Amino acid sequence: MLALASTRIHPLTEEVFDDIIEAAGGYRAHPDHDRRPKRGADYILGDAVIELKILDDEGLAKPERQKKLAELFTSLNPGKPVHVLDRELLNDAGRRAYDRALEGPIKRAVKSARGQLAQSRIEYRHTARSILTIVNNGNTALDHDEIVQLVSRRARNDTDKIDGVIVAGAYLHSDGFDTFALWPINYIPIHLDVDFPEYEAVRKAFGGYAERSMTEAIIEGSSDAMTKGPVLDTGFDFNGMTFVKPAPPLGRKSDFYINGRPRLNSTGIETSPPVGVIFPELNRAEWTKFREFLPHEPSLGGSYQDWLKEREHALTQGTPLQPLVPVPITLDGWLASLGNQMPEGAFHSICAFTTDEFQKRVTDLIDGVRDVDKAAVVPNRFVLAWTEEIGQDEANDVSQVLLVEQTPSSEPRTTFLVRHARIFHRHACTLGAAYAIKHGVSALLWKKDMTYAWA
């Protein structure tokens, strides 16, 4: 289980920014703002009027927003059960639609700030510039760079009353052992001919607050007021599919978790699930031996053709995640497993012996499984378990199982045995072993797509 809640920091509230602006040399524009008939901006700093807007709403919580995003990303790969909300996967039209779906809180902030800044500029005649400050406190649907881009565009397109924009945020990252925080702050000029020299004082004051806040979190520990925890995966379910905005990777390998950072596993799977429906595979010679040894066993059928019909029927009972796997057995092998003691239920014993043989072969394949990208020699015929790791929770991983056959004179032939299964790496490898037995393949390899992995 992933433990991420041990370290927390203070959220960036209006009271926090009161102190930051005061440290930068500014003050409240309207101390009586709660009694005013007209809404004004928040601060005066030098000859600039500043309006503060804090994004507190979770950006992926709105059903109408979920629907729009689901339609965008489902169209890229309709068969996938889990979709990563990555803007870069979309074409230009899709990116514009993505921005429109997520920019609602920012668009409203720009619209509101436009009037408030204009009102305070009327009342403070000495001021010469209008600055909007956007602070991301709780909108995990957008990262800092995306907010910078959206705010800049909305301010340029929606109004000529805003001269520049400050975008700031606080982002805590942790794997339960290593913890670090990012406190980004940027100034984006909207009107290039209007300077904002006071920004440097704001930036220094913001940095000073960040340093004090982290010192408090480290030395004094988390308190009830420290409600902002580490950045986690965020997302939603829609029409039976999951849409995930993965938490950013921590950027380097952990010196503490030498086998990789721990991940959540909300699947509830702690032991290997069943990966096959097992059927005794008997050729004609072995069936005849069993028939002669057990002349009154009805499950063997009256003829070898009856047995083959039963086998064909059994093959239709499997599913992609639990295929029917015929496992070759012999009479001598079964008798040796009994230790010369005949069980009461002979056919039940045969099936149990077949299952044991299957489990032994699965274990041998798992023990020998290798990373296909690191294998010194790749066999001509193998089963590949390929998993795309998505974010912090193994429940969102998507796997494929493929049969790969190579010949010296042509390109490898690849057959998908399982496509887009919502199973994690270990489950995929075990399932791959079952398919290797089913197809008479003696080699199992694995591959991981780490594009959206949390590491």
pLDDT of 377 higher than 50: yes
pLDDT at 226: 54
Neighbours of 15 (CB within 10 A): 9
Q: How many helices, marked H, and strands, marked E, lie in the chain?
A: 11, 18
Sorted by sequence, the CB contacts under 8 Å of residue 131 that are 6+ apart come out as 45, 48, 49, 50, 51, 117, 162, 163, 164, 165, 166, 196
Average pLDDT, the chain: 90
The pLDDT-based confidence of 263 (bands split at 50, 70, 90) is confident
pLDDT of 156 higher than 70: yes
pLDDT of 4 higher than 50: no
pLDDT of 151 higher than 50: yes
Specify whether the CB–CB gap between 241 and 81 falls below 8 A.
Answer: yes
Flag the least confident range among 17-21, 126-130, 311-315, 438-442: 311-315
The pLDDT-based confidence of 232 (bands split at 50, 70, 90) is confident
For 274-328, what is each residue's pLDDT tens digit? 999 999 999 999 999 999 999 999 999 999 999 999 888 888 888 999 999 999 9
* Distance from C-alpha of 389 to C-alpha of 423, rounded to nearest angstrom: 10
pLDDT of 2 higher than 50: no
Place of tokens 């294998």: 375
For 408-434, what is each residue's pLDDT tens digit? 778 889 999 999 999 999 999 999 999
Specify whether the CB–CB gap between 354 and 286 falls below 8 A.
Answer: no
Q: Where are the domains of the chain?
A: 14-236, 277-359, 370-453
* Distance from C-alpha of 122 to C-alpha of 117, rounded to nearest angstrom: 9
Specify whether the CB–CB gap between 170 and 12 falls below 8 A.
Answer: yes
What average pLDDT does range 338-348 have in this prediction? 83
Residue type for 444, please?
A: L
